[in-house]
Homo-oligomer: A and B are copies of this chain.
Amino acid sequence: MALRYAVLGLLSKEHLTGYDLTQKFHSHISHFWNAHHTQIYRELQKLEKEGLVSYDLVQQHERPDKKVYTLTDHGLQDLLGWMAEPPKPPSMKNETLLRVSLFHLIPPDQAVQYLEASRQTHVEVLNAMKQWGELHLGSADAPPSYELIGETLTLDFGMRFIQTWIDWCDYAIRMFRSFPE
């Protein structure tokens, strides 16, 4: 029930095509949501049938037509209603942690190897986030405009989250190293 609100939310800022939306998902909100283009096209069709979005056909030279989607009044009302719903407890689904919970099945050096690879992946993600923030939000020290407050806060959470991963990987590696092999 939430993919629709990710789409409506992006459309509340700009008029976008399905393709544009896919790009935004990858570039702007991947630290808290993501979707394949196939899902987005399917969702747009449904939202259009329900009257929450409408589209204009735009002809292009030498390219297929594109559908530029717009949020309708009804769509904005639906979105604002959803914004007022109470928060739910977080539910995690993480393949790495699922593996870690079964580490007693494998030898310690394989576990350490896995944790080191995982740490490395997270370091790379964190660097990419920092770069993205500097490019899109400017200095992290200066307070953001009200328009950008949501993006600033979610990026900040994303970076804290990844840092938590890195710290935890270090801790876990130390714990494994303390076991006699």
Contact = CB atoms under 8 A, between A and B. Distances in A.
Contacts of A148: 104
A178 interface: yes
Chain multiplicity (copies): 2
Prevailing SS type, chain A contact patch: helix
Contact of A100 (B102, B153, B162, B167): B153
Nearest to A31: B92
A88 B95 contact: yes
A99 interface: yes
A131 interface: no
Given A146-B179, A160-B167, A168-B157, A94 B101 contact: no
Interface in A80-111: 80, 82-84, 86-106, 110
Contacts of A88: 95-96, 121
Interface residues of A, number: 71
A83 B99 contact: yes
Interface string A115-140: 00110011011000000000000000
A131 to B, nearest CB: 15
A161 B164 contact: yes
A5 interface: yes
A114 B84 CA distance: 8
B101 A151 contact: yes
Interface string A143-165: 10011111111101110111011
Given A103-B153, A171-B156, A90 B96 contact: yes
18 contacts: A5-B98, A6-B98, A30-B91, A32-B92, A33-B93, A34-B91, A84-B106, A86-B117, A88-B96, A90-B165, A97-B154, A97-B157, A100-B157, A101-B151, A103-B150, A104-B147, A157-B165, A160-B164
